[in-house]
Amino acid sequence: MTTKYEPEKVEQRARDYWDRERCFEVTEDPDKEKFYCLTMFPYPSGQLHMGHVRVFTINDVIARYQRMQGKHVLQPMGWDAFGMPAENAAIKHGVPPAEWTYKNIDYMREQLKRLGYAYDWSREVTTCRPEYYRWEQWLFTRLFKKGLVYRKNAIVNWDPVDQTVLANEQVIDGRGWRSDALVERREIPQWFMKITAYADELLDNLDNLDGWPDSVKTMQRNWIGRSEGIELSFIVEDEEEPLTVFTTRPDTLMGVTYMAVAAEHPLATKVAANNPDIAAFIEECKTSHAAEAMMETMEKKGLPLGISAIHPISGEAVPLWVANFVLMSYGTGAVMAVPGHDQRDWEFARKHDLPVTQVIRPADGSEIDISEAAYLEHGVLVNSGDLDGLDFTQAFDAIAQRFEADGSGRRTVNYRLRDWGISRQRYWGTPIPIIYCDDCDAVAVPEDQLPVVLPENVTVTGEGSPLKRMPEFYETTCPNCGKPARRETDTFDTFVESSWYFSRYACPDNDEVMLDAREAYWMPVDQYTGGIEHAILHLLYSRFFQKLLRDEGLSSADEPFTNLLTQGMVLKDGAKMSKAKGNTVDPQDLINKYGADTVRLFMMAAAPPEQSLEWSDDGVQGAYRFLKRFWYATDRHCAPGTVEDIAASTDAQLNLRRKTHQTIAKVSDDIGRRYKFNTAVAATMELLNAVTRFDDTSPAGRAVVQEALESIVLLLAPIVPHICHELWQQLGHDGSLLVAAWPATDEAALVQDMIEIVVQVNGKLRARISVAADADAEEVKKLALADLNVQRFIANKVIRKTILVPGRLVNVVV
């Protein structure tokens, strides 16, 4: 008699067991080897989407596998609970963001539990709770006193109708997403964290992150963008202040034919005062988008300012332009243009009939035509007076010395990385703990007045932050002088919360200190898994925060994440699934229909973790069918009763045993080293197929099947834990599968007498031959040449050479 596979019931029983036994709650145990296994925590958007299921399942598989390896595994879960969607929902439905968020969290927590993830729920962290964000407010005030946070003006997207600051994604074709008004660039004062102070360490430490993908490290290196160059000053006619520029190519200095400043540059502002054309141009630049991608792709425009700088070597006048592609926030807001040796300068010069001068020639003496394109390579200087003939390094040094001698320039290092602007003019975020006093300026909220609690019962309209309309929030007194003062109403960028939550999981209940001794036990995270879209910002900010925490004496770890796995996106219709695009797929339907194990299995079988995965409803059936086959195969095998331990003897029995141990070896490598869960699933499917085909109910045959099925249960336990929990007991085991050890490969079972060798002639496959596993090279070649089909292709030809790849192939070259 067979029992039906009913995933709903099977999974309920497994979950009840794990809950009852508190299987996944861990405490610090110095005698055990810890393994901290973490995914990027989710934003509580309402329901889980396929991207969540993918990343959480990947991480759960690793956590459960490591546990079977005997590690003491911590896998926590929490909520990145502040953010824009809650405000958008509030505008749309009139529900306060807090209420909406907590409701979503409750629903999504149940979904996660239904999926059977091995989380230690006792450590749950929710970033919108004061007991969490108070500590980042506290850290902020410490950094403020240390000088690592400061205030300066920065450009934002301003919606003049809604009277509010817009995120880049809320600007659509230059217009506000709700008001449809033309968006303006506006400068407002904002708080910044000095990430640039750690630029070199963030860059250098990448070399030690062996457990990170090269692609992510490369992206971060390029993002930091360290470049060595010279900062030098040009005297501007009739101006007191010289114009300072940074260049990595001082060797091209004699090729400077014009200079350009940003629209926001003081020189441009000054000229605009008496020049309506320039004023209009600057005004036009104000309506452009704040995002760099937009700046880089828009048409390069500029106007001559009508004033000139003096070339510091030749003494010639160099015309000054204002241009929309020069960024005020990068470098000095001014550039020297060398159209002969910079492609963008070249194109701009062509368009505006500015002279193009060649000052570099190729070192190999080849001819170039500067009128066709800019020559970008390093070479030898020409048309540069006494610098002619120098190479790049010599010219760099000569020019650096010349400027350093008279104090008008210096060698310096420039970074593409900018300081991190953390102010947001939004309500649903951590209040920035600053008080503004007319006499004392900006004052940090004293420690004993923290946290600054965000009021949760508010109405959000979409026109500015509700905090600005709440005197009961912003009216306060100066902690310094006691006079009436005003609280900061801006909140933190939500990346602040996600930059240290992984440490807080170690001690989420501590209301005395930010981090305690438990942090030292668990940190750093051994395995961090998350989307590739976070390759730069979140991961770089988290690395930065780790260094801040270390330098505050709160942690001893230099880096937060030892090993990083970046999973690809789940795409729908070729695009990233996102709340904004509304192309999400709700996995709940699939869970209801097939159970969590089927969904987990399908996600793992469909693609390797690092690749993006185009979502399709097909294929889930296959995963479900496999689990049913697995269930019935075990059921059928167990029905006759106890299995005796009898050694395999027939060829078929030995073959199945070999397949079993080949599979153990393969899956161990796939999960433990390669993180290729799709091929691990395929291998166990092959093994089950072999079990199903194996037709031998003799005592020895049943013993071999018992071993094969037990192996499948153990190998699949991390991926489909519920069904394995039940089948493990059915196979006669009393204890929990969770404490079972990962299976070991029996090398003796892998031994084969005969192996297959491929025979090629001139690299083309012509035959497969069977040879003794211990046959020597000559014997294999002899057998290869003796094959009839091989003979057809080498007949009447001279064998020039024979290549033998031991155990694999022979290639006969004729």
Partner RNA sequence: GCCCGGGUGGCGGAAUUGGUAGACGCUACGGACUUAAAAUCCGUUGAUUGAAAAAUCGUGCCGGUUCGAGUCCGGCCUCGGGCACCA
The reply to whether 350 sits near RNA by the rule CB under 7 A is: no
Which listed residue (76, 83, 560, 721) binds RNA by CB under 7 A?
83
- Cα-Cα-Cα-Cα torsion 475, 481, 483, 487, nearest 10 degrees, comes to -20
The reply to whether 156 sits near RNA by the rule CB under 7 A is: yes
Query: 804: part of which helix (H) or strand (E)?
Result: strand 801-805
Which listed residue (194, 468, 629, 636) binds RNA by CB under 7 A?
629
How near is the Cβ of 760 to RNA at its closest, in Å? 6
Residue number, 24 or 626, with CB nearest to RNA: 626
Stretch that binds RNA, among 26-34, 78-86, 113-121, 731-739 (CB under 7 A): 78-86
Which long-range contacts does 196-204 make (Cβ < 8 Å, 24+ apart)?
196/415, 196/417, 196/418, 196/419, 197/148, 198/544, 198/547, 199/224, 199/226, 199/415, 199/417, 200/226, 201/547, 202/417, 202/540, 202/543, 202/544, 202/547
Q: Where are the alpha helices (DSSP H) in 475-619?
A: 501-504, 517-522, 537-551, 588-594, 596-606
- For residues 129 and 126, give the distance between their C-alpha atoms in angstroms, rounded to a whole number: 6
The reply to whether 809 sits near RNA by the rule CB under 7 A is: yes
Whether the CB-CB separation of 399 and 387 falls below 8 Å is answered with: yes
The reply to whether 543 sits near RNA by the rule CB under 7 A is: no
Q: Are strands 801-805 and 809-813 parallel, antiparallel or unpaired?
A: antiparallel
Which listed residue (233, 247, 252, 425) binds RNA by CB under 7 A?
425
Distances (CA, A) of 389 to 296, 315, 381, 395, 396: 35, 21, 5, 9, 13
Which listed residue (27, 616, 649, 752) binds RNA by CB under 7 A?
616
Residue number, 166 or 443, with CB nearest to RNA: 166
Whether the CB-CB separation of 202 and 420 falls below 8 Å is answered with: no
The reply to whether 95 sits near RNA by the rule CB under 7 A is: no
Which listed residue (109, 129, 270, 628) binds RNA by CB under 7 A?
628
Supply the DSSP string of 59-84, one letter for each residue: HHHHHHHHHHTT-EEE---EE---SH
Which listed residue (311, 518, 600, 676) binds RNA by CB under 7 A?
676
Contact pattern for RNA over residues 776 through 795, marking x by CB under 7 A? -------------x---x--
Core vs surface per residue 22-47: b (16+ CB within 10 A) or e = eebebebeeeeebbbbbbbbbbbbbe
Residue number, 294 or 647, with CB nearest to RNA: 294
- For residues 86 and 163, give the distance between their C-alpha atoms in angstroms, rounded to a whole number: 19
The reply to whether 169 sits near RNA by the rule CB under 7 A is: yes
The reply to whether 341 sits near RNA by the rule CB under 7 A is: no
Stretch that binds RNA, among 382-390, 400-408, 436-444, 670-678 (CB under 7 A): 670-678
Which listed residue (112, 569, 591, 708) binds RNA by CB under 7 A?
569
The reply to whether 559 sits near RNA by the rule CB under 7 A is: no
Quote the tokens at residue 463. 């026109």
The reply to whether 571 sits near RNA by the rule CB under 7 A is: yes
The reply to whether 20 sits near RNA by the rule CB under 7 A is: no
Stretch that binds RNA, among 570-578, 635-643, 647-655, 778-786 (CB under 7 A): 570-578
Which listed residue (666, 702, 725, 781) binds RNA by CB under 7 A?
666
Residue number, 498 or 706, with CB nearest to RNA: 498
Query: 121: part of which helix (H) or strand (E)?
Result: none
Whether the CB-CB separation of 170 and 176 falls below 8 Å is answered with: yes
Residue number, 554 or 812, with CB nearest to RNA: 812
How near is the Cβ of 792 to RNA at its closest, in Å? 7
The reply to whether 686 sits near RNA by the rule CB under 7 A is: yes
Which listed residue (14, 112, 166, 506) binds RNA by CB under 7 A?
166
Which listed residue (6, 19, 283, 292) binds RNA by CB under 7 A?
292
Residues 6+ apart with CB under 8 A from 293: none
What are the backbone dihedrals phi and psi of residue 151, each rounded to the nearest 5 degrees, phi first? Answer: -115, 135
Which listed residue (68, 143, 165, 554) binds RNA by CB under 7 A?
165
How near is the Cβ of 685 to RNA at its closest, in Å? 4
How near is the Cβ of 800 to RNA at its closest, in Å? 8
Residue number, 175 or 628, with CB nearest to RNA: 628
Q: Are strands 34-39 and 525-531 parallel, antiparallel or unpaired?
A: parallel
Residue number, 36 or 191, with CB nearest to RNA: 191
How many CB atoms are closer than 10 A to CB 643? 20
Q: How many residues bind RNA (CB under 7 A)?
A: 108
The reply to whether 532 sits near RNA by the rule CB under 7 A is: yes
The reply to whether 714 sits near RNA by the rule CB under 7 A is: no
Supply the DSSP string of 577-635, one letter for each residue: --TTTT----THHHHHHH-HHHHHHHHHHHS-TTS-EE--STTHHHHHHHHHHHHHHHH
- For residues 712 and 689, give the distance between their C-alpha atoms in angstroms, rounded to a whole number: 11
Residue number, 20 or 801, with CB nearest to RNA: 801
The reply to whether 300 sits near RNA by the rule CB under 7 A is: no
Q: Where are the alpha helices (DSSP H) in 241-275?
A: 266-272
The reply to whether 611 sits near RNA by the rule CB under 7 A is: yes
Opening angle at CA 196, ends 194 and 200, nearest 5: 140
Whether the CB-CB separation of 77 and 116 falls below 8 Å is answered with: no
The reply to whether 530 sits near RNA by the rule CB under 7 A is: no
The reply to whether 493 sits near RNA by the rule CB under 7 A is: yes
Sign of CA dihedral 598, 603, 606, 609: negative
How near is the Cβ of 98 to RNA at its closest, in Å? 15
Whether the CB-CB separation of 202 and 315 falls below 8 Å is answered with: no
Which listed residue (85, 176, 524, 595) binds RNA by CB under 7 A?
85
Q: Which of residues 102-131 bind RNA (CB under 7 A)?
A: none
- For residues 74 and 119, give the distance between their C-alpha atoms in angstroms, rounded to a whole number: 8
The reply to whether 646 sits near RNA by the rule CB under 7 A is: no
The reply to whether 417 sits near RNA by the rule CB under 7 A is: yes
Q: Where are the alpha helices (DSSP H) in 699-804?
A: 699-716, 721-730, 747-750, 777-786, 788-794
Residue number, 409 or 464, with CB nearest to RNA: 464
How near is the Cβ of 454 to RNA at its closest, in Å? 14
Residue number, 404 or 686, with CB nearest to RNA: 686
Residue number, 217 or 487, with CB nearest to RNA: 217
The reply to whether 600 sits near RNA by the rule CB under 7 A is: no
How near is the Cβ of 448 to RNA at its closest, in Å? 30
The reply to whether 80 sits near RNA by the rule CB under 7 A is: yes
Which listed residue (423, 529, 542, 663) binds RNA by CB under 7 A?
423
Which listed residue (206, 606, 712, 715) binds RNA by CB under 7 A?
606
Quote the tokens at residue 311. 């070339």
Whether the CB-CB separation of 555 and 135 falls below 8 Å is answered with: no
Residue number, 76 or 409, with CB nearest to RNA: 76
The reply to whether 622 sits near RNA by the rule CB under 7 A is: yes
Q: Which of residues 186-215 bind RNA (CB under 7 A)?
A: 190, 214-215
Q: Which of residues 748-777 bind RNA (CB under 7 A)?
A: 756, 758, 760, 762-766, 768
The reply to whether 582 sits near RNA by the rule CB under 7 A is: no
CA atoms within 13 A on the CB side of 562: 10
How many CB atoms are closer than 10 A to CB 517? 11
- For residues 350 and 344, give the distance between their C-alpha atoms in angstroms, rounded to a whole number: 10
Whether the CB-CB separation of 73 and 66 falls below 8 Å is answered with: yes
- For residues 305 and 778, give the distance between their C-alpha atoms in angstroms, rounded to a whole number: 83
Residue number, 130 or 608, with CB nearest to RNA: 608
How near is the Cβ of 586 to RNA at its closest, in Å? 18
How near is the Cβ of 136 to RNA at its closest, in Å? 15
